[in-house]
Structure 1
Amino acid sequence: MSIELKYDSVAALVAAAEKAGEPISALVLRQQAAQLEKTEQEIYDQMAETYKVMAACIEPGCAEDLRSTSGLTGGSAFKMRKAVESGKTLTGGVLGGALYRALAVSELNAAMGRVVAAPTAGSCGILPAALLTMQNDLGCSEHDCVMALFTASAVGMVIATNACVAGAQGGCQAECGSAAAMAAAAIVELAGGTPAQASDAVAIALKNILGLVCDPVAGLVEIPCIKRNASGVAGAFVAAELALAGIGSAIPADETILAMKKVGDAMSSSLKETAEGGLAATPTGQKLYEQVFGTAPAAGGGCASCGACGGR
């Protein structure tokens, strides 16, 4: 069956999948193969390589002595993994596994390791953690996890088309929020949920992170970004659990995406990656800036790249 697939709304993706009687991922794979004039196997193999890079981040990201270039972060994934393996977690191995994997990928990013921007480097730990946890802790096949990446990608494209995925434009809600929404849709599909349930999960994940600011301490994608990746994957599992239980979202996914855009547009520039507000402007945040760069930040903050925006 030939179906025209557009990435301008989640509702359109759901309608197409329901009409075809297939998961969203199958339609996306077929459409991408046709658009790029390649076979479905070739497109799948490309996505499988992406998944392999994601998986390869976990072990080096969990190294006990891993530290970022700035020295501000590193070693959290090791601690979380140790807690999971010792059975000393409050919420069990599945969520604990997702948390340490999200931390591992994010810490590897901060240490200048090779990661997949999913959809950004600052939110790179959420989607890999979700998929790898579904595979390693809940028994999903690698093939199905690779296919779920097509569903996640479709959701990401809709968000990018109608809102944004950059913290500098929409705050962290646009980065970790988008990643959590993408991961939630992927989890639902992997768990055997319907396309409509995947849409509900997207909406719930975004609603639960709506308004989150981007306030990197010292202008570096480390504090609080790394721990927000852990929170983001937890939020993705929460959204998926609710949707799979038949709990829908009162506000549709597409309206939630547009609301996120409006919130981002209304957000002060000091809360959109400039390191002029939020946690970056706290006394400790200012001290950490001085610790990294050997000088106090300009009045009003400023990012780590040049500080030129600090006087605005």
Structure 2
Amino acid sequence: MLNTANEIINACKENNCHIYDLVIAEEMKNSKKTEEEIRQHLNIVIDVMRKSAAENLNKSNVTRFKMTDGFAKITNDYAENQEPIIGKFLMHTMAMAFSTSEVNDAMGKIVAAPTAGSSGIMPATIVSAIEKYNFDNETVQNGLLTSIAIGQIIAKYATFAGAEGGCQAECGAASAMAASALIEMMGGTPEQALHAASITIINVIGLVCDPIAGLVQYPCTFRNASGVVNAFISADLALAGVTSFVPFDEVAQAMGEVGKLMHESLRETGLGGLAGTKTGKRIRDEFLGKTGGN
């Protein structure tokens, strides 16, 4: 894949194509699969996303420590029966992010895009956009393919691992990928897709990874919900013409550098941040079978 935002933009201009065309060409070359086979696989991915985003909207999940139980249903009920401050659409979208997070907590089937801890963001974004705009499968496929290009740049210059780069690397990356998918599905340009991805990362750069007891439940589920909103507002800003002065590849590099500067206790160890609070330590001790958290 191309290495910089400018290279991607220039390639799209020279070949009169979209970012997803570049991704398809590379995947066909590397996997030896046809475009039809690639798109058929994406349909399977979309189906899993649809199911996980909807599974817990009308039922409450139950986990051992009950840190995030029933958030999808609570949020969805509020979206349907009240007038949320942020509007019914975004409230419902956050409910879908919670749903996939809860499916993951229960060891159900999810799409880790790019990680299990951030797995609620892409499905909620994609599925809510399908519901709102009635996108056909090819349009959604093109959005997912565009998000792959964004993910490849993040992987090149930074990381997807919370243990290496904090939650900016997980929920931040997922939000950037989701925002770029939205741009493509909405008919935006390659430049806008890259600007949207930049804005999403900028919004959460430095975000730590501090899951209580090392479980990707709390506060991860909240960051999945807010990550979806991040993706939508960043996409809207880019579609409006707002730009990121720093190119996306440089934003990804900055994210990688910030991750390296984080203290190890703030990188998915279950020791710092919220995990290091009195409550967090108590849950960790219970999880490890100890008593008397300190």
Query: Does the pair score TM above 0.5?
Result: yes
Preserved CA contact (<8 Å) 1:177 1:210: yes
Q: Which runs of 5+ in 1 are unaligned?
A: 1-5, 300-312
Question: What residue in structure 1 maps to residue 49 of structure 2?
Answer: 54
Question: What residue in structure 1 maps to residue 124 of structure 2?
Answer: 129
Secondary structure at 1:137 match in 2: helix
Question: What residue in structure 2 maps to residue 250 of structure 1?
Answer: 245
Question: What residue in structure 2 maps to residue 143 of structure 1?
Answer: 138
| Runs of 4+ residues over 3 Å off in structure 1 | 290-294, 296-299
1:180 and 2:175 correspond: yes
Question: What residue in structure 1 maps to residue 219 of structure 2?
Answer: 224
1:38 and 2:33 correspond: yes
* Offset from partner CA, 1:32-82 (integer Å, 9 cap, x none): 123322211001101111111111112323242312354332210011111
Secondary structure at 1:151 match in 2: helix
Amino acid at match of 2:233: V
Q: For residues 256 and 31 of structure 2, what CA distance do their matches in structure 1 show?
A: 30
Task: Choose which of 222, 236, 242 in structure 1 pairs with 2:231.
Answer: 236
* Offset from partner CA, 1:171-222 (integer Å, 9 cap, x none): 0000011001101111111111110011101110000000000000111100
Comparing 90-99 with 202-211, which one deviates more in the overlay?
A: 90-99
Superposition deviation, residue 280 in structure 1:
0.5
Q: For residues 120 and 34 of structure 1, what CA distance do their matches in structure 2 show?
A: 25
Amino acid at match of 1:190: M
Preserved CA contact (<8 Å) 2:142 2:184: no
Amino acid at match of 1:104: S
Secondary structure at 2:168 match in 1: helix
Task: Choose which of 187, 193, 196 in structure 1 pairs with 2:191.
Answer: 196
1:261 and 2:256 correspond: yes
Secondary structure at 1:122 match in 2: coil
* Offset from partner CA, 1:207-262 (integer Å, 9 cap, x none): 00000000001111000001100011111111111110001011111111111011
Q: For residues 202 and 297 of structure 1, what CA distance do their matches in structure 2 show?
A: 44
RMSD: 1.6
Amino acid at match of 1:142: N
Q: For residues 89 and 248 of structure 1, what CA distance do their matches in structure 2 show?
A: 29
TM-score, normalization: structure 2?
0.95
Question: What residue in structure 2 maps to residue 85 of structure 1?
Answer: 80
Q: For residues 31 and 254 of structure 1, what CA distance do their matches in structure 2 show?
A: 19
Q: For residues 27 and 255 of structure 2, what CA distance do their matches in structure 1 show?
A: 27
Secondary structure at 2:269 match in 1: coil
TM-score, normalization: structure 1?
0.89
Amino acid at match of 1:61: N
Amino acid at match of 1:245: A
Secondary structure at 2:117 match in 1: helix
Question: What residue in structure 1 maps to residue 202 of structure 2?
Answer: 207
Preserved CA contact (<8 Å) 1:219 1:275: yes
- % same residue: 40
Matched residue count = 294
C-alpha change, 1:112 and 1:63, in structure 2 (3 Å) is farther
Q: For residues 188 and 256 of structure 2, what CA distance do their matches in structure 1 show?
A: 27
C-alpha change, 1:70 and 1:113, in structure 2 (3 Å) is farther
Amino acid at match of 2:258: V
Question: What residue in structure 2 maps to residue 274 of structure 1?
Answer: 269
